[in-house]
Chain A
């Protein structure tokens, strides 16, 4: 079956610290992988995605690389800001599209000045 296992939170970091949020997946076939972010009181926003093995998705200083051999898609950012405080969700799509997403449990990140 399809599932996503995500690093438990919450995560609290000081501004300019390095961020890693681990994500591993189980899937049949060749899924696309996504990171979504949810700011307080808002819906989910796509942060980045990768559609095939070894692809690197990147946006707003965040990066994640699709690793088929380790079935992982870890989110990283070199220097976090207070404005990055949010809940981050790793997700996969078996069909590669956006219409049937399997999500991880979410990781709440708080960045303190």
Chain B
């Protein structure tokens, strides 16, 4: 079956702009989580959506937001981009996100802010 698909794979944006990243989970998976990966901070949890509702949230400013559609596809949006937002953004899907369910990761979207 198809894996987790993230689009686009690469993005270059200018400071102050906004960006939207997309994640299509594995068919049947209802939980989608987003992570930011940087050399300095490592992998950090952004938020998780389940059945179109944000269920968990990490410690990121309000410029980072997300949503989930009825088909479980998810988008994350970053407004007023800063240089420090340059990172690999990873999406993970799981059946329910609860105990004994495995997270499957996409290949990520590499965002460069110039």
Whether A100 lies near B90 (C-beta < 8 A) is no
A72 in the interface (beta carbon within 8 A): no
Whether A101 lies near B107 (C-beta < 8 A) is no
Chain A, range 42-92, C-beta contacts under 8 Å to B: 42-46, 49, 51, 89, 91
Whether A43 lies near B4 (C-beta < 8 A) is yes
Shortest C-beta distance, A2 to chain B (Å), equals 10
Shortest C-beta distance, B36 to chain A (Å), equals 11
Shortest C-beta distance, B93 to chain A (Å), equals 9
- Chain B interface helix/strand/loop/mixed: strand
Provide the residues of chain B in CB contact with A95, threshold 8 Å.
98-99
Provide the residues of chain A in CB contact with B72, threshold 8 Å.
none
Binary per-residue interface labels of chain B (77-114) against chain A in the complex, 1 for a CB within 8 Å, 0 otherwise: 00000000000001010101111111111111000000
Nearest-neighbor residue (CB-CB) of B41 within chain A: A105
Question: Count the A residues whose beta carbon is within 8 Å of the partner chain — how many?
Answer: 24
Q: A101 to B105, alpha carbons, bound, how many Å?
A: 12
Please tell me which one of the listed residues A46, A51, A89, A100 contacts residue B45 in the complex, with CB atoms under 8 A apart: A100
Whether A51 lies near B42 (C-beta < 8 A) is no
Q: Assuming A43-B4, A104-B42, is B105 touching A99 (CB within 8 A)?
A: no
B74 in the interface (beta carbon within 8 A): no
Provide the residues of chain B in CB contact with A103, threshold 8 Å.
35, 42-44
